[in-house]
Amino acid sequence: MIKMIALDLDNTLLNSQKEISPANERALKRLHESGIKVVLCTGRPINAIGHYIDQLDLHQPYDFTITFNGGLVVNNQTKQPLYAQGTTKADLQAVYDYLRSQGLPMDVLDFDRVYELTELGPTRYKGTVKNIEFVDTTMADLPGAEHPFAKAVLATEPAKVTQAKAQVPAAVTAKLRVVQSQPHILEFLPLGVNKMVGLNHLLAHFGWQAAELMTFGDADNDLEMIIGAGDGVVMANGLPAVKAVADHLTTSNDEDGVANYLTKTFVKELQ
């Protein structure tokens, strides 16, 4: 029996206007009210998706969100972490060296804010992520020592992201995991971090198994949670490699794909 539904946001739960459609909202609210956990899974910090949490009314004492692609599991009410894993400035140096050599921009996130590295030029990340503090700084002035960072991000034109992803050097992949979360965003995550890692910690918190988990996704950074769930569902607009490992496919994010699948699966709860 499915006890938890975990959903990627961009190009999965959200339509092309970055909205949760009325059909998706209605289905998820009813399932949440019936006792099924609804968990948003995103690369963004929780402050940047507060309006989606509000829309779905995910404010019960045991509601959680998976943020930073699994690097942080946080309680929606208290904002206290259940699990956190970051990386260091030293590990991010290889990303900086690579992106600088290619004339590409870079943003670095800790668990509270975004550091925009001004010496590498303008980035598109500020136009993508809202409701989080952006700080202009340089690589040299980033907090050092043991300060934990959630990830680094390349946010630029999709063609440049595709080219950069294909050419990431071994010096980077030896220390960080590289995933494309949107056409214009390439993310550099701590090794061992993915959405399923965060979900496994959350499942353990409730004493549940992965077989009791349903996941929805479309992109590279959803791959592990699609494979690891009892029912991994991929959108019609998903990447071919992600579709290939799905248990089921549904319609696109602009066709209420989440609600369409839930309605067929939870007939009694949503009739």
Which residues are the active-site residues? 8
Question: Which residues have a Cβ under 8 Å from the Cβ of 64 and sit 6 or more positions away?
Answer: 37, 39, 73, 74, 75, 76, 82, 202, 205
Phi, psi at residue 183, to the nearest 5°?
-55, -30
Three-state DSSP state, 183? coil
Task: Tell me if 227 sits within 8 A of 245, measured CB to CB.
Answer: yes
| 152 CB-contact burial (10 Å; exposed 0-12 / middle 13-18 / buried 19+) | buried
Lookup result for tokens 């899974």: 41
> Can you list the alpha helix ranges (DSSP code H) found in the chain?
22-33, 50-56, 89-101, 158-166, 170-173, 195-206, 223-228, 240-243, 257-265, 267-270
Radius of gyration from C-alpha coordinates of the chain:
18
